Amino acid sequence: MNDFIKIYYTKYFPFELIYSWIIKYGEFNQREFSIIKLNNSIQRGLKFNSIEDFKHYIIEKDVVRIDIGPYNDGKNNPFEKELIFDVDMSDYDINHRICCSNDKICEKCWNYILVGIHILKFILEKNFAFKKIMFVNSGRRGFHCWVFDKEVIKLTNETRKCIIEFLKNYQNLSYKFQSIHLLKNHETGIYEFLQTLEPYYLKILEILPLEFLIKVIKEIMNPLLFKKIEQNLNELKENLKKEITSDDSSSSSNFFLSKKLWFNYISLIKNQLNNELVQFYILAIQFYICFPLLDTNVTQTVNHLLKLPFSLHNKNFGVSLPIDLTKYDKFEHHHSPLHEEIVKNIDLLSFNNSKIYFQNFITSL
């Protein structure tokens, strides 16, 4: 294992591209790093005078994972960094998926990642006018988003906190009317955008817990309108549960229940509401369920570290690859190769494609 790691960082890791990125916004020796070694020991607060020193340290010290932090001033105070976001599939275990849990991820729940990228990219571009946005597969069970716009690098902790709180409001059903209000803002193209979520949403429904779907429907709908369909919806829920096979030990027996309820729910509200309001609720519910579950702590302070693109993951040795945003919907859950696969040229193509994409992205900054 140690040999493959050393070969990966010696032959494949793009040290020069990382250096080109860092010196665009500050001095290389101002940037903070943290590493995890093969023996799981951690070293924080590392700085390097040159890219050569950095490369030598990574290769010679049995480093597996590299995290990158902020630029620090002469007094070791963090003061500048890109704006970053983190989505981890383990946060979807309670309400959002019945197919997998913990560090497991499959083709079905991977749709949360794809639609999460789709939504976050749209909001960062439309609401904040950010242009230099890069998404990176975390190498294991989620994705990271990096915003490189020059004005973003200097954002204070207070501003970063405001941004993540604005985004997190969409994950809070008590703020449901803020997310629904988006539907009325045709100037941003939000209505047309929300219609593009349906293909992801229909796949997500296959693994969405039934009780959570009903909870979201109830919270988002007008209480008086929900009261009109509540009895029918509860009867439908009970009938669907009866369809579950006697083999209740397998979560697969619950697959597709939410999808069946969803189409019946649409039929119910079509009998009660006009077409415009029906479409309104359909899009609002889809938007809430598909919205990515963001980690607040990662975004809100400048001193938080995040895994460096192309670093290995210390648990499964997966490579953290930048995702080409022109092809992200074709990026599958198994497309984050392991270091051994790259070294053995088993999955060198996806690695090289990501490297080219990253090079072009850094050049454009």
pLDDT tens digits for range 173-219: 655 555 555 555 555 677 788 889 999 999 999 999 999 999 999 98
User: Are 96 and 228 found together in one domain?
Assistant: yes
User: Are 57 and 179 within one domain?
Assistant: no
* CA gap 137, 329 in Å, rounded: 13
With respect to residue 146, please indicate whether it lies within any of the assigned structural domains: no
Could you say which DSSP state residue 79 is in? E
Out of 254, 274, 293, a domain closes at 293
Residue (of 3, 5, 147, 21) closest to 65 by Cα position:
5
- State the average pLDDT over residues 340-359: 82
Q: Which domain holds residue 122?
A: 91-129+172-293
Task: Tell me, yes or no, whether 271 and 319 share the same domain.
Answer: no
- Using alpha carbons, select from 152, 145, 113 the residue that is nearest to residue 130: 152
Label residue 141 by pLDDT band (50, 70, 90).
Answer: confident
At 309, list the tokens.
Answer: 């693109």
Residues 60 and 205 in one domain: no
Is the domain of 203 the same as that of 341? Answer: no
287 and 247, same domain (yes or no): yes
308 versus 102: the higher-pLDDT residue is 308
Q: Which parts of 271-330 fold into alpha helices (H)?
A: 275-290, 296-300
Question: Is residue 155 included in any domain, yes or no?
Answer: no
Predicted local distance difference test score (pLDDT) of residue 28:
97
Kindly list the distances between the CA atom of residue 46 and the CA atoms of 55, 99, 242, in Å, as whole numbers in the listed order. Answer: 13, 40, 58
d(CA 255, CA 235): 19
* Boundary (domain end) residue, out of 259, 274, 293: 293
> Final residue of a domain: which of 230, 260, 293?
293
The CA–CA distances, whole Å, from 38 to 3, 66, 277, 318, 350 equal 11, 12, 56, 14, 25
Tokens at 181, concatenated = 């209000």
Two tokens, residue 158: 């207070």
For 286-314, how does the pLDDT look when each residue is reduced to its tens digit (9 = 90+)?
A: 999 999 999 999 999 999 999 999 999 98
Count up the domains in the chain and report the number.
2
Please report whether residue 326 resides in a domain: yes
Residues 6+ apart with CB under 8 A from 218: 226, 230
How high does pLDDT run on average in the chain?
Answer: 88
In degrees and rounded to multiples of 5, residue 302 shows phi and psi of -75, -20
Which pLDDT does position 1 carry in this prediction? 54
State pLDDT tens for residues 310-324: 999 988 888 999 999
Average pLDDT rounded to a whole number, residues 103-118: 91
Q: Say whether both 256 and 310 belong to one domain.
A: no
From residue 91, alpha-carbon distances to 63, 145, 218 in Å are 28, 17, 22
